[in-house]
Structure 1
Amino acid sequence: MSVGLTVVSGSGHTWRLTEQIGSGSEGFVYGVDDARPLVAKLVPDPPDPEAYRRRVARLVRQRREPRTVGLLAGTPVRLAWPLVSVRTADSTAADGVDGYVMPDMRHAFQPFNHLLSVSARRAFLPRATWATALRAALALARLLGELHAEGYVVGDLKTDNLWVGESGRVGMADVDSWQFTDGREVFPGRMRTPGYTAPERLGAAIGTPPDTASDDFALAVLVHQLLLAGLHPFAGHPADGGDYLSYDDNVLHGRCRIVDRASVLLPRSVPPADLLPRRLAELFRRAFAHTGRRPTAVEWAEALAAELRPGRLKGCAVNTRHIHTVERPWCPWCDQTEHGSDSYPDPPQEEA
């Protein structure tokens, strides 16, 4: 879809769209020519256009309801919530394309993936340490717990719809894909993403509604990526000699280092598994084993908050960027460095 579009709300207000700044499996995100930090999402071909218009309209209305007002409180706003429904007004789109205007998360956040790789951290979040990752994990768990408490299910929780700030604040986008109710009407979640889909949904038919437990699986994956410098918990070649197919294949077969160290083969340069505090390692085992109940977002938030209490973190005498739990007698990041990689290297001399 080309830029230079104009969109119009139901009340007749118009906005001119500028550059395309993002795209996903369903739609495109554009800058908006407005004094306020706004962007617009357009969805050209929803499976059911009328249902999609109704979904967005209900979310716009819910923005003023008590359960949502609390979620949107505070500065900066944590959710790219639909502010108003819009439709393209140009003559080249005979039937128009539906979408909505929402807050521009770039105003206060950076893409979540910037916290998950060494090069992106150095370029965009140069002061980030493992403590920043812990704070981001806590912020994400708290936000998800609040959403669940108010009856929302994200359904497609992944790095691509998350945002992070320098201090570890977290924001979330793609609200229009969530599962929620409005009165007696249920608006089901539809989307799922490889690597962030719970095992029970992998074997289910496309369109099977998600639930809070499937969100809790994706949360655990994301927390693992945050705390192990981007490493996916189901990364690794099968240790039985079979071919690596995908994260999802490893999920289905229970190949996960933290559950069964002998199930996968990983490079020695990845962060060591024993860098995790015991209580967090146990939550990961519960989250990724195929038996028992997964930890909820609230349980994750409580455990992560405990690891950020005074006295629970210590610094490394060799590298000030190497922060780790006091449960580890020596620095896990220095151990990683000895194997050819450093997830939190010292800044270049000119930045020091």
Structure 2
Amino acid sequence: MPLTLVSRGGHTWRLTEQIGSGSEGFVYGVDDDRPLVAKLVPDPPDAEAYRRRVACLVRQRREPRTVGLLSGSPVRLAWPLVQVRTAGGTDADRVDGYVMTDMRHAYQPFSHLLGTSARRGFLPGATWETGLRAALALARLLAELHAEGYVVGDLKPDNLWVDETGRVGMADVDSWQFRDGREVFPGRMRTPGYTAPERTGARAGTPPSAASDDFTLAVLVHQLLMAGLHPFAGHPADGRDYLSYDDNVLHGRCRLVDRTSVLLPRSVPPADLLPRRLADLLRTTFGGAPRRPTATEWADALAAELGAGRLKKCAVNAHHVHTVERPWCPWCDQAERGTDSYPGPTREAR
């Protein structure tokens, strides 16, 4: 029997199929003429605090600091629109959640831009320039969030969306860290491979900050520009066992910072495909500098790389786009080693 949701004002929605799940909740389709979905969180650590969190976000949707974030089309944030609970049963049986915009009507999952097969199948026109534009859109969105006092905390591909032009959207707003009056709602979540070093290992309970978001932004920028390759990927070159991205982060194993620290397959994209200014920002972020580049600094640098005359199209494969700083095509180099990250659309997609 389909679940029914009810708002505080008495409006009801009928849920359709389950379309996603995460570490805390489940996302369902909503039977409505508008593109809506609902997120339900069955067992939050503190149910009353979670209800206050969602209620604050719903109210903040109409506040000046948030109105600008939600302007434009398509909408960039799956912001909580209405606070809801499941109907029927006892109060203890009811599950809290909220209704939000269904990002699927305008975007693809972010991961579709990172993997060659998914990119070719779902975003067939995407090139390296698309990744560059998505990196810029993400950096700008994060800079706007930070300026308004929001910290994402659990920034990762699973919470992000992208379209064929490189526009970016973000979901899971209810996990953010933010202030409402005197109350601070802390960021609770973290994801292996997408967590700053000060929040991993023994310091895993450290609350997120704008600086920790900036670290994860750099990880995602690297993946967008390196055809999905994580910056801390690779087997330790010192003979130790590979444990995880996080272990490599804590031990500084990153090809871009120290090319002798990890072993990687020959098929991965060459490190020198990056424009110098972007490579410098990545090295500063991953090399443990006292201050990381901010989302605003990333946005400025990425916008410059999209300026007139900064991109070049390969004469052999029109789907190969790269920076003018590289005298020859890095994607053709990669293809010669057995893998082409941007082979062009499939015959069916054309």
TM-score range, shorter chain: over 0.9
1:197-212 equivalent positions in 2, closer than 5 A: 197-212=195-210
The aligned residue for residue 6 of structure 1 is 4
Distance change >3 Å, CA 207–CA 4, structure 1 → 2: farther
Shift of 1:221: 0.3
Contact 2:235–2:264 (8 Å) recurs in 1: yes
- Over 6 Å off, 4+ runs: none
> CA separation in 2, counterparts of 1:205 and 1:47?
20
Structure 2: state its 5+ residue gaps.
none
Shift of 1:4: 1.1
Contact 1:28–1:43 (8 Å) recurs in 2: yes
Contact 2:121–2:349 (8 Å) recurs in 1: no
Secondary structure of the residue aligned to 2:93 is coil
The aligned residue for residue 166 of structure 1 is 164
Contact 2:254–2:262 (8 Å) recurs in 1: yes
Identity %: 82
> Partner amino acid for 1:111?
P
Q: Is 2:134 aligned against 1:136?
A: yes
1:254-273 equivalent positions in 2, closer than 5 A: 254-273=252-271
> CA separation in 2, counterparts of 1:74 and 1:347?
30
| Counterpart pick for 2:225 among 224, 227, 232 | 227
> CA separation in 2, counterparts of 1:141 and 1:217?
11
Shift of 1:99: 0.2
> CA separation in 2, counterparts of 1:114 and 1:308?
22
The aligned residue for residue 299 of structure 2 is 301
Q: TM-score, normalised by structure 1?
A: 0.97
Contact 1:190–1:208 (8 Å) recurs in 2: no
> Partner amino acid for 2:244?
S
> CA separation in 2, counterparts of 1:238 and 1:93?
52
The aligned residue for residue 101 of structure 1 is 99
Contact 2:267–2:339 (8 Å) recurs in 1: yes
> CA separation in 2, counterparts of 1:347 and 1:134?
19
Distance change >3 Å, CA 307–CA 88, structure 1 → 2: same
> CA separation in 1, counterparts of 2:74 and 2:345?
29
Shift of 1:308: 0.3
1:29-84 C-alpha deviation (Å, 9 max, x unpaired): 00000000000000000000000000000000000000000000001110000001
Shift of 1:290: 1.7
Shift of 1:310: 1.0
Contact 1:57–1:85 (8 Å) recurs in 2: yes
Shift of 1:93: 7.5
Distance change >3 Å, CA 12–CA 235, structure 1 → 2: same
> CA separation in 2, counterparts of 1:90 and 1:123?
43
The aligned residue for residue 46 of structure 2 is 48
Structure 1: state its 5+ residue gaps.
none
Contact 1:189–1:207 (8 Å) recurs in 2: no
Q: Is 2:250 aligned against 1:277?
A: no
The aligned residue for residue 74 of structure 2 is 76
> CA separation in 2, counterparts of 1:118 and 1:90?
46
The aligned residue for residue 245 of structure 2 is 247
* Aligned residue-pair number: 350
Shift of 1:95: 2.9
Shift of 1:203: 3.4
Distance change >3 Å, CA 351–CA 118, structure 1 → 2: same
The aligned residue for residue 39 of structure 1 is 37
Secondary structure of the residue aligned to 1:262 is coil
> CA separation in 2, counterparts of 1:26 and 1:4?
21
Q: Over the residues paired in the alignment, what is the CA RMSD in angstroms? A: 1.2
Contact 1:213–1:294 (8 Å) recurs in 2: yes
Q: TM-score, normalised by structure 2?
A: 0.98
| Counterpart pick for 1:341 among 322, 331, 339 | 339
The aligned residue for residue 190 of structure 2 is 192
Contact 2:199–2:205 (8 Å) recurs in 1: no
Shift of 1:242: 0.9
Shift of 1:292: 2.1
Contact 2:124–2:346 (8 Å) recurs in 1: no
> CA separation in 2, counterparts of 1:290 and 1:307?
24
Secondary structure of the residue aligned to 1:298 is helix
1:138-157 equivalent positions in 2, closer than 5 A: 138-157=136-155
1:82-132 C-alpha deviation (Å, 9 max, x unpaired): 001000003388430000000000010010000001100111000000000
Secondary structure of the residue aligned to 1:58 is helix
Contact 2:198–2:206 (8 Å) recurs in 1: no
> CA separation in 2, counterparts of 1:34 and 1:79?
19
> CA separation in 1, counterparts of 2:237 and 2:289?
22
> CA separation in 2, counterparts of 1:348 and 1:205?
46
> CA separation in 2, counterparts of 1:93 and 1:183?
29
> Partner amino acid for 2:272?
D
Secondary structure of the residue aligned to 1:123 is helix
1:205-226 C-alpha deviation (Å, 9 max, x unpaired): 4442110000000000000000
Secondary structure of the residue aligned to 1:42 is strand
